[in-house]
Structure 1
Amino acid sequence: MRFNFTFRKAKTVLNHEGAVAYTLTPQLELYAAVATAALSDQFYETADARLLRLRELVARNDPEFVARLAVYAREQLYLRTVPLVLTVELARRHRGTSLVSRLVARVVQRADEITELLAYYAQANERDGVKTLGRLSKQVQKGLARSFNNFDGYQLAKYDRAGRVRLRDALFLVHPTAKSAEQQHLFDQLVQGTLPTPYTWETELSALGQQQFASAQARTAAFRTAWETLIGSGKLGYMALLRNLRNILEADVSARAVERVCATLADAGAVARAKQLPFRFLAAYREVLLVQSGYVAVVLEALETAIGHSAANLRGFGLDTRVVVACDVSGSMQTPVSARSKVLLYDVGLVLGMLLQSRCGHVTTGMFGDTWKRVSLPRGRVLHNVQEFYRREGEVGYSTNGYLVIQDLLRRREVVDKVMIFTDCQLWNSTGDGGTLAQAWIDYRRTVAPRARLYLFDLAGHGAAPVEVREGHGAALIAGWSDKVFDVLAALENGGSALTEIGKIELA
């Protein structure tokens, strides 16, 4: 796989706002589309349009690159659905090697991903339901057979859910060979529907919620006892804890339980194992802010510590490196990252921007829409700073005049080393003066700071960039919502790129 290729001059196209933009290489476009794929309708692109574009891009890229990208998305970006899509699309096109079977076994890391993969396989191959899946690709079948061997009875029972394809259907389709008599017994139970119902915190609370109580006080007391028991048992996973902080506090749990919750949230090892996307901490922070409890302050502090741990390996810049962090707060950034999320692309950009700000010694931060506004904030309180930006939402308007960030540096004749723009890359000029980011960047490097570097953090992956992303222009593109974007930033600082990071993935 060759990543150190020579860039050719990019072609110009029109972005979704009708402004001139520059095409990306097929590899870079697929990477950006994958790293930002929630596969739900977005401001500029429907889920179906994104899916179609992904399929076309898979066909235009080398199979090994697609496979490495799928693993990178699953293991580094913590994405679940889009790696399955890449795997199925690769299976439809690639023959002759074991690449697909090895990839299936690698990206299927939860039992329900077996059925998700098969459901998408049926859709992609225009097959109507599980009965028509008998003509399964041999490589997909082999990979799923290997995957079945990775799951115990608890995992099989937990994810044996109703749906277009059930786990028992998948078992009949792929015919896995049990690795022991005990596992064969589990497979038999799965087929017969006799797997023991697994204990989960969801089942316990669901059962409690269906009970009748004499009073609201009795109900609160019952949930308080349930939450305290769960917290004390250690059976509440990190993500479940994040998502239920508001419920826990509203149940008025004891000081000892709150202390344990905060200790878990702030534990560096627990944060590392949980592999949460940074914006998950913001979602939890905002839910806690809505609670009337004397424990709110200590829980917010624990969340600040937690997100600090999530970026512990982020290599920022010292006092000798002048950095500008600019966050796009335009109308198109007010789109949820997925259909079920309250978190917006706007929020993702702010969280990543403030994480970077927390690791820089000499940094100017601000936001842009109709105008560009510098906003000075203290380092260290990432989530608090995001909320401060959010409180000032609307102060700069809702257009996407990103060129003003560079024009401001030109006007001040201010020399900086790095300009970091967090955006959906759909920049346009609402002022009518003809200014563009591409021209402003050329002028800035020519007249003020020849060695400056521009980093576009693409949060939407629509397939083009507002500047040429190639050697000699001092501009690079990084995509995604994970803290792993900063690993790509480090690679770029050392002469690499996002593609070299993907190229490091070993396909066992």
Structure 2
Amino acid sequence: MASKTLFSTLRGILSPKADSFNEAGGLAYKLSPRHALAQYGATGCLNSTYYATAEDQLQQVLKLCAKVPTDFIARTALHCRQKGFMKDVPALLCAVLAARDAERLELIFDRVIDDAKMLRNFVQILRSGVTGRKSLGSLPKRLVRRWFETRSDEAIFRADVGQSPSLADIVKMVHPHPATKSREALYGYLIGRKHDASALPGIVREYEAWKAEPEGNPPDLPFQMLTALPLTADHWQAIARRAPWQMTRMNLNTFARHGVFSIKEITRLVASRLRHEEQVHRAKVFPYQLLAAYLNVGGEVPHDVKEALQDAMEISVSNVPVVAGKVIVAPDVSGSMHSAVTGVRKGATSKVRCIDVAALVAAAFLRQNRDAEVLPFENNVVRVSLNPRDSVMTNAQKLASLPCGGTNCSAVLIDLNARKVQADLVIFVSDNESWMDTPYHGHFGGSATRTMSEWQKFKQRNPKARLVCLDIQPYATTQAQERADILNIGGFSDSVFSVIAAFARGELSGEHWVGEIEKTPL
């Protein structure tokens, strides 16, 4: 018999060799340019992250755009705006198209630049010159004019919040043509020029009259237009009664400070609004934004309102898939995961961390898959006991409070292999910056990442198993190379759950997430 020592099967020998290093210095696999652009689009807020500056991210996106067809740039902008609810990178991609492919820009403009915030982003980015031009140019000007033409007088007035540029600045840049006397007066009013006050839209006249004599209920206008005015407790209560869902979520402490919750009927109304299923879905709220609201509410906010936030959370993650078979969820609790999920920008840094998002995803999967095993990891797997019957909020807070260390993505698979665990789906929620399982730095050495090698071992025992790497940071590498049984996906909207569900059922095309983006109709 031939020597078993000499000719034994080499586990992991078919694992592909690593071809890159990640930002932490660990072995990694490069994402394709299309995949990397999608990752930046779904997670990038053009702020500084744990491993990269805002300038680094901007340059990476521009370099990736130069490597992919404009058709894919357009589809990525659409997908990441409509499915991922992102703002900055979709606006940047539209600015890139303004310089490279006017036809594609015109096809997607109205669906990506769909509100005043997106319009201001687009104009600011285009005029900065980063995409190769500083003037808007004839086509972008025409598209911006169309943006104004397709909105009512009232909608434009309500959108007049925010600066740098303001809506008035944009009106001055593009000179939209007023089709009515009221529109002509409105444009004059916005830019501070002489206008016929009697021709102004009714909502503007109502606002100006109330500013002069603030009696009775304030006009039904965006919160930002009213806060500089002398508001009484009665005014605040009127505002709270008719506030839209997102404004309600963001201003619970403000309402409490101004006596809104002293009226039990308004307290019940606010709680009912927050937990209203249709309104939650229509608001396109990120689950982590609900966690932020829950963690930040003060002691003056009534208990029923806090409970309503938990109910809203359960609704926002309701499309987490119920997976046939055993599920392993591995949230990364390492040090880098304690950075702000949307990056750092002076005066605009989110209190919500990457670890909070990872914990939320894990808790949501446990809620829907009661026999799932949750394995947090940093240097090694961190043992934790979770009750599937507890709320998503409760389990997420428990996971986010675990001790942190270095990043070792392979620790989970090493643990599963050591225990010979049988499972059908393994989900990592991480920034993918594994470095502790790289034994040397400076050269590839012809080896696979440890995560990929351990996945090969796991597959020998679980041949039908699938691996999902959900990345919540804008980087361009992964620990597990994309293939039929491995999905790399980015983002922190609940739409990623639908893609994961389809992947778990074997319904995605060969390119998985990128394939889904390619299907986006222009």
TM-score range, shorter chain: 0.7 to 0.9
Q: Provide the residue aligned with 1:458 in structure 2.
A: 471
Q: Provide the residue aligned with 1:480 in structure 2.
A: 491
Q: Provide the residue aligned with 1:144 in structure 2.
A: 144
Cα distance in structure 1, aligned partners of 2:139 and 2:83: 24
Inter-CA distance 79–431: structure 2 relative to 1 (3 Å threshold): closer
Inter-CA distance 154–490: structure 2 relative to 1 (3 Å threshold): same
Cα distance in structure 2, aligned partners of 1:274 and 1:154: 20
Note if contact 2:328-2:372 (Cα within 8 Å) is conserved in structure 1: yes
Cα distance in structure 2, aligned partners of 1:281 and 1:137: 40
Instruction: Name the % identity.
Output: 25
Q: Provide the residue aligned with 1:467 in structure 2.
A: 480
Cα distance in structure 1, aligned partners of 2:452 and 2:132: 46
Aligned partner of residue 426 in structure 2, secondary structure: strand
The CA deviation at 1:287 is 1.5
Cα distance in structure 1, aligned partners of 2:439 and 2:32: 30
Q: Provide the residue aligned with 1:322 in structure 2.
A: 326
Q: Provide the residue aligned with 1:100 in structure 2.
A: 105
Aligned partner of residue 21 in structure 1, secondary structure: strand
Inter-CA distance 183–504: structure 2 relative to 1 (3 Å threshold): farther
Inter-CA distance 237–456: structure 2 relative to 1 (3 Å threshold): same
2:337 corresponds, among 330, 333, 336, to 333
Q: Provide the residue aligned with 2:398 in structure 1.
A: 388
1:246 paired with 2:253, answer yes
Matches within 5 A, 1:11-410: 12-94=19-101, 98-125=103-130, 133=135, 136-160=136-160, 163-178=163-178, 180=180, 182-193=182-193, 196=204, 199-208=221-230, 222-223=232-233, 225-232=234-241, 234=242, 236-250=243-257, 251=259, 252-288=261-297, 290-291=298-299, 295-296=302-303, 298-318=304-324, 321-336=325-340, 337-338=342-343, 339=345, 340=348, 341-379=350-388, 381-391=391-401, 393-394=402-403, 397-410=404-417
The CA deviation at 1:254 is 2.3
TM-score by length of 2: 0.83
Aligned partner of residue 310 in structure 2, secondary structure: helix
Note if contact 1:156-1:190 (Cα within 8 Å) is conserved in structure 2: no
After the TM superposition, which of the residue ranges 346-355 and 309-318 deviates more from structure 2? 309-318
1:342-378 deviation digits (Å, cap 9, x = unpaired) = 0111111111222222221420013111220242322
Aligned partner of residue 362 in structure 1, secondary structure: coil
Q: Provide the residue aligned with 1:442 in structure 2.
A: 456
Cα distance in structure 2, aligned partners of 1:279 and 1:207: 32
1:503 paired with 2:518, answer yes
Inter-CA distance 35–265: structure 2 relative to 1 (3 Å threshold): same
Aligned partner of residue 369 in structure 1, secondary structure: coil
Cα distance in structure 2, aligned partners of 1:402 and 1:325: 12
Cα distance in structure 1, aligned partners of 2:331 and 2:453: 20
1:408-448 deviation digits (Å, cap 9, x = unpaired) = 111111110011010001012269699821111111112x2
Q: Provide the residue aligned with 1:218 in structure 2.
A: none
Inter-CA distance 284–28: structure 2 relative to 1 (3 Å threshold): same
After the TM superposition, which of the residue ranges 412-421 and 437-446 deviates more from structure 2? 437-446
Cα distance in structure 1, aligned partners of 2:315 and 2:131: 45
Cα distance in structure 1, aligned partners of 2:45 and 2:26: 25
The CA deviation at 1:163 is 4.4
Cα distance in structure 2, aligned partners of 1:257 and 1:246: 14
Note if contact 2:46-2:58 (Cα within 8 Å) is conserved in structure 1: yes
**Letter aligned with residue 501 of structure 2:** A
Cα distance in structure 2, aligned partners of 1:61 and 1:458: 21
Q: Provide the residue aligned with 2:210 in structure 1.
A: none
1:421 corresponds, among 404, 428, 435, to 428
Inter-CA distance 81–461: structure 2 relative to 1 (3 Å threshold): closer
**Residues matched between the structures, number:** 467
The CA deviation at 1:204 is 3.3
Inter-CA distance 492–126: structure 2 relative to 1 (3 Å threshold): closer
The CA deviation at 1:386 is 0.8
Cα distance in structure 2, aligned partners of 1:357 and 1:287: 24
Cα distance in structure 2, aligned partners of 1:346 and 1:202: 31
Inter-CA distance 386–226: structure 2 relative to 1 (3 Å threshold): farther
1:99-146 deviation digits (Å, cap 9, x = unpaired) = 212322221122343333122111135899xxx63xx33332232121
Note if contact 2:467-2:486 (Cα within 8 Å) is conserved in structure 1: yes
Note if contact 2:410-2:437 (Cα within 8 Å) is conserved in structure 1: no
Cα distance in structure 2, aligned partners of 1:154 and 1:274: 20
Q: Provide the residue aligned with 2:12 in structure 1.
A: none
Cα distance in structure 1, aligned partners of 2:238 and 2:285: 24
Aligned partner of residue 467 in structure 2, secondary structure: strand
The CA deviation at 1:475 is 1.5
Inter-CA distance 324–153: structure 2 relative to 1 (3 Å threshold): same
Question: What CA RMSD, in Å, does the superposition of the two structures yield over aligned residues?
Answer: 2.7
Cα distance in structure 2, aligned partners of 1:461 and 1:41: 10
Note if contact 2:168-2:190 (Cα within 8 Å) is conserved in structure 1: yes
Note if contact 2:320-2:497 (Cα within 8 Å) is conserved in structure 1: yes
The CA deviation at 1:203 is 3.6
The CA deviation at 1:242 is 1.0
After the TM superposition, which of the residue ranges 369-378 and 408-417 deviates more from structure 2? 369-378
Note if contact 2:31-2:476 (Cα within 8 Å) is conserved in structure 1: yes
Q: Provide the residue aligned with 1:215 in structure 2.
A: none
Gaps of 5+ in 1: 1-7, 210-221
Gaps of 5+ in 2: 1-14, 208-218, 441-446
